[in-house]
Every structure is written in structure tokens, then in C-alpha cells.
């Protein structure tokens, strides 16, 4: 046969025996092996490849048609060619997966994480209807996801399946837990003069709140009338100075403007013997205005005086902004919080969540703009009364509050 007309074929397999078996299934004995070589095949992304064998062969005559060919049984033992056993052993040894160091472990870890996620999703038990109902009420009241998660975990830890069948009882527990998360700060105002500073962002009603607080002191709402003086450091807004002066004139309270820290201290010293309370109104700055907030902190550096500082925030502020305000105004080391515009929001979960997550107490709330009205001491029952969808026993909550105070 002319060597130029010889047609060669190749076949791949895991071993030399495997290749021969496949050739015989197709061509019976009508072939001649020309040679073999070791190859790498299979895998993906260059990983999990295997070592195998490629056999080159020719046909000795026209191949038998598959539909007329019945394969004959293979011999149990193929002829042992020279060096066949050594080659076979070498191929078998090299047929293992070959990867770069650490590659297999990385893939296993990644697949394990995916498997865990799938397992958690597929095996996650359906929430009890009572738990779901409580979660929905908390969401409707604008509680934070973190607050809702904590409440949900507490329900699951403390309530049995039989407990969960009694929704009214569970929701009463949840209301008690909400009450526990609200901290009330009750100031003593025992110093003389007692200095009270209000800080906070723009538009929350600090000046109006200062006037309400002043009215409370001078009208003896706590059965102990006090003399009051007001200092404002808000020289930036002329209207703000005029506004606080109008309030002062109506209540016969002196109002002074301080430009810097020295002015503030001089005014405090000047009134230290003739008034009981000195209220300081400040400029409202965005929580992102770090420079001005820092400058105002220097202006109000009163470490040698008895100072009570309140952060003033609006109840209608969204949760994320409220938490940012609380963080940025930490520079003033405020003692407590005054929540304004309590009447301008339908949900208070954002307020309770922020106070709880930041571990801050509240002292006063305002529920309108009129002076001296709509200024109240903050109370746990007042917050609970603002919840939508929850029912609770007022007397029972009051008893619980009293018990907690006596502990």
C-alpha cells in the first residue's frame, strides 16, 4: 500500500486498553496500531484535567458497516506489548487530577458556602403566624430591621409553640419589651445657676423649645418657679435672635447674644447670682458640617459649670438621619434627647429604634408650636400610646415600670 495514501485515525481514552477496546468495537480486527502518546484531556477552566492516552491507527481494509457488524467478545487478556505494563502503570498514576496548590481547597470552600446557603433557604422553617403578625406591626410602625430582628429572636427564645398560639399574650410581652427599651432621663436641676444647652440640626425647633422650657420654669409648672435668663449664640440668623427676644419680652426674661466662648462665660458669671436657670440656644448645623459643629463646641466649652446638654431632634426625621445626627453631635457629650414635632408623625418606631440602638435616654417631647403649651415630660406610656396595631394593659405597664425603677 502506498504510504502517501494511508489514512490515519486517532482515538482517545483513559488507558491504552480502553483505546484498543473502542477501536475493536468499531473496526473489529481490521486495524493496525501506529503508535500511542500520553495526553491531557477533560476538565474546565484548566482545572480537574486528566491524563490519558491517544492511539494512532490505520484500517487494513474497508470498515465493516455498523448495522451488519456484531462485535466479538474481547479477549480477557490483551497481548502484552513491550513495556506495556510499565506504560499502563505510569498512565494510571498520572490519571489523577492535577491542580495548582490550594486551588482544590478554594473551590471546595466556595462550593461549600453555596451549598450552605441553599441548605438554609430550603430548610428554613416557616415562621409562626404570630411571629409574622408581630413583625408586620413593627414594620408598620417604622421600627428598624435590627430592632425587629432582636424582638423576633426574643420571641423565639422565650415563647413555646403553645405560647405562640395565644397572639394577645405574645403581643403584650412584645409591648413590655418595647417599654424596656425606652430610657427616660429625669434631671434634678439642683445646681444654681443650672445651665441648659440645646443643640441639634437646623429646622428641629430648638428656639421654640427653649421658649417652652423657659415658660415651664417661670410659670411654676413643677410647683417650684425659677428665674430664667436666655443666652443665644445664634448670631448667624438675625430672625432667630429677634424670635427669642420676643419670647423673652413676653415672659419678662432677659435675652443676651454671645459671639464667642468668652462672651458666654461672662454672661453666665453676670447672671450667676440673680437667676436659677440659664438657657443657651445654639445655631443649627447639618450633621455633615463638622467644621462648624466643632467651632460651636469650642464656643460652648463650659467644663467648670453645671451644664445639662440636650440634643434636639424631630420625630419626623427618618431613622438613618436620626442615627447620623446622634453620632455627629456626640462631640457635645449630651445628657439626653428632646424629641420635637411628636404630633407631626404617624409612626414612632424610628425614634424608639434610634434611642435603643444608640443607648440614649429622652427627657422631653413637644407636640405643637404654641408657647408655653405642648411641652411634656417624656414617658414610656406616651411612646407606647403612639404605637399602631398593638394593644396593651396600661395599668399593667405602669406597675412594670414602677417595679423596674425599684429594682
**pLDDT tens digits, one per residue of 341-357:** 999 999 999 999 999 99
What is the topology classification, in CATH, of domain 194-378?
Answer: Rossmann fold (3.40.50)
With cut-offs at 50, 70 and 90, classify the pLDDT of residue 228: very high
CB 175 within 8 A of CB 384: yes
With cut-offs at 50, 70 and 90, classify the pLDDT of residue 157: very high
Helix (H) or strand (E) holding 402: helix 394-406
CATH 3.40.50.300 domain range(s) in the chain: 194-378
Cis, peptide link before residue 205, omega less than 30° from 0: no
Give the residue among 328, 317, 232, 315 at the shortest CA–CA distance from 286: 328
Q: Compute the average pLDDT of residues 265-291.
A: 92
Contacts of residue 278, defined as CB under 8 A and 6 or more positions apart, other chains included, come to 193, 194, 195, 196, 228, 229, 230, 231, 267, 268, 271
Mean pLDDT across the chain: 83
**C-alpha gyration radius of the chain:** 41
CB 325 within 8 A of CB 200: yes
Q: Compute the average pLDDT of residues 152-168.
A: 94
**What number of helices (H) and strands (E) belong to the chain?**
15, 11
Return the C-alpha cell found at 297: 463646641
**pTM for the whole structure:** 0.67
Burial annotation 375-394 (CB, 10 A radius, 16+ → b, else e)? beebebebbbebbeebebee
pLDDT tens digits, 107-141: 666 666 666 555 554 444 578 999 999 999 999 99
Most distant pair of Cα atoms in the chain: their distance = 128
Amino acid at each position: 500500500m502506498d504510504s502517501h495514501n494511508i489514512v490515519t485515525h486517532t482515538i482517545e481514552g483513559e488507558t491504552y486498553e480502553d483505546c484498543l477496546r473502542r477501536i475493536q468495537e468499531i473496526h473489529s480486527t481490521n486495524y493496525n496500531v501506529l503508535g500511542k502518546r500520553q495526553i491531557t484531556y477533560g476538565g474546565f477552566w484548566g482545572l480537574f484535567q486528566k491524563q490519558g492516552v491517544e492511539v494512532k491507527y490505520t484500517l487494513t481494509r474497508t470498515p465493516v458497516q455498523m448495522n451488519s457488524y456484531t462485535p466479538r467478545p474481547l479477549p480477557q487478556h490483551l497481548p502484552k506489548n513491550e513495556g506495556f505494563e510499565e506504560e499502563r502503570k505510569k498512565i494510571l498514576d498520572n490519571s489523577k487530577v492535577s491542580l495548582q496548590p490550594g486551588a482544590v481547597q478554594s473551590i471546595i470552600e466556595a462550593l461549600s458556602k453555596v451549598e450552605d446557603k441553599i441548605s438554609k433557604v430550603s430548610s428554613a422553617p416557616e415562621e409562626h403566624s404570630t411571629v409574622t403578625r408581630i413583625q408586620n406591626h413593627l414594620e408598620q410602625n417604622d421600627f428598624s430591621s435590627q430592632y425587629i430582628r432582636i424582638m423576633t429572636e426574643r420571641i423565639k427564645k422565650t415563647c413555646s409553640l403553645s405560647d405562640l398560639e395565644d397572639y394577645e399574650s405574645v403581643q403584650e410581652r412584645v409591648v413590655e419589651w418595647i417599654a424596656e427599651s425606652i430610657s427616660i432621663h429625669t434631671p434634678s436641676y439642683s445646681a444654681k445657676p443650672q445651665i441648659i444647652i440645646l443643640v441639634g440640626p437646623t429646622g428641629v425647633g430648638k428656639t421654640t423649645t427653649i421658649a417652652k422650657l423657659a415658660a415651664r420654669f417661670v410659670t411654676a409648672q413643677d410647683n417650684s418657679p425659677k428665674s430664667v435668663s436666655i443666652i443665644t449664640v445664634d448670631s448667624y440668623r438675625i430672625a432667630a435672635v429677634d424670635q427669642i427676644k420676643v419670647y423673652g419680652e413676653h415672659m419678662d426674661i432677659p435675652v443676651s447674644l454671645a459671639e464667642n466662648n468668652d462672651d458666654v462665660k461672662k454672661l453666665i458669671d453676670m447672671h450667676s447670682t440673680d437667676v436659677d436657670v440659664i438657657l443657651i440656644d445654639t445655631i443649627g448645623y447639618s450633621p455633615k458640617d463638622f467644621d462648624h459643629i466643632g467651632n460651636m463646641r469650642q464656643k460652648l466649652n463650659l467644663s467648670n459649670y453645671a451644664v445639662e446638654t440636650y440634643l434636639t431632634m424631630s420625630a419626623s426625621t427618618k431613622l438613618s438621619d436620626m442615627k447620623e445626627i446622634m453620632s455627629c453631635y456626640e462631640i457635645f457629650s449630651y445628657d439626653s434627647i428632646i424629641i420635637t414635632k411628636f404630633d407631626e408623625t404617624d409612626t414612632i418606631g424610628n425614634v424608639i429604634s434610634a434611642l435603643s440602638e444608640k443607648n440614649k435616654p429622652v427627657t422631653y417631647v413637644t407636640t405643637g408650636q404654641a408657647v408655653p403649651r405642648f411641652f411634656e415630660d417624656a414617658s414610656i406610656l406616651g411612646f407606647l400610646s403612639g404605637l399602631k396595631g398593638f394593644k396593651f394593659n396600661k395599668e399593667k405597664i405602669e406597675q412594670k415600670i414602677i417595679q423596674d425603677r425599684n429594682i
